Amino acid sequence: MKRLITLVMASLLFFSFVPEFASANSPTSLVNTAKKYMGTPYRLGGTTPTAFDCSGFTQYVFKEEGLSIPRTTGQQIAVGTSIAKSNLEVGDLVFFNTSGRGVSHVGIYVGANNFIHASASKGVMVSSLDDPYYWKSRYIGARRVANFTDNVSTENKVAASAPVKEIVYATRGEIAQVLAEKLDLDMTTVNVTFKDVDESNPHYKAISAVAEANIFSGDAGNFNPNKELTRAQMAKVLVGAFELRGSAIAKFSDVPAGHWATEYINILFYHEITTGYLDGTFGLSDKVSVGQLNKFIDRINN
């Protein structure tokens, strides 16, 4: 498996020729990520899949999707845009007063008046906002901290009104860092010969280590450490690296039959490695974040 990861990373480092534009995650992806942790136990102060408290859970899920929100419930209700209950959309944060002293609980709205949250009694679960015995009377408001509607085919664009940091896209330098660390490459001996990489680059040792391992070579003497990657590029990399076969007609509205990546995207769709967005697009030119890159690796391993 380590060799397979190496193949993926090496291909990523070679393949970077498609135009790229700003992007944002889909609400479907956010909900799917949240539901991965169904049944995870509750622990006050918990911030990892071992155990979550309510705000630790929401922060972790959003972080995995490439979106940064504060740690505590009180801080989370202060970011983004206030949303009326009648205007809730999938991905909105919903807040409750369960202590009698103000906001004390948070979850993620998943549609149909339901929300997913880390319950103190049952861990991560889905509950109804209309539950007459508990949640309905304790609901106090909602905040939209990510904009999934202006451009639902994009992947990391945070709502302009929200004081939330935009996720960093995966660059060749960052990929080199991920690769060097995952493969435990020797980063003590540095012998970088790329014209555009010196000791001031934070990935200097990792780039040298990956190069020394003969996993990639540069382009005309340059490494292009700040070059970014797209979903279309990732599709080609995964299909080629893992020799995937089979195809389904995905019919994404932004993937024409003659596009160079159409076959690769259809193969990934066939294997359920990737899906499109709610507006029927694939997001050919959407940039891939570091978090999303790790998610692809997780899917490969699983």
Residue-level pLDDT at 56: 95
Residue-level pLDDT at 302: 64
Give the whole-angstrom CA distance, residue 76 versus residue 70. Answer: 6
Residue-level pLDDT at 298: 67
Give the whole-angstrom CA distance, residue 15 versus residue 292. Answer: 17
Residue-level pLDDT at 148: 58
Count of Cβ atoms closer than 10 Å to residue 203 Cβ: 22
Is the domain spanning 27-144 CATH 3.40.50.300? The answer is no
Domain-wise residue ranges, the chain:
2-24+168-301, 27-144
Residue-level pLDDT at 14: 37
**Spans in the chain with pLDDT lower than 50:** 1-24, 149-167, 241
Q: At what angle do helices 2-14 and 231-242 cross, to 10 degrees?
A: 140
Question: What pTM value is reported for the model?
Answer: 0.47
Indicate which residues carry an active-site annotation.
54, 105, 117
Residue-level pLDDT at 168: 52
- The pair of structure tokens assigned to 33 is 């990520």
Contact indicator for 119, 127 with CB cutoff of 8 Å: yes
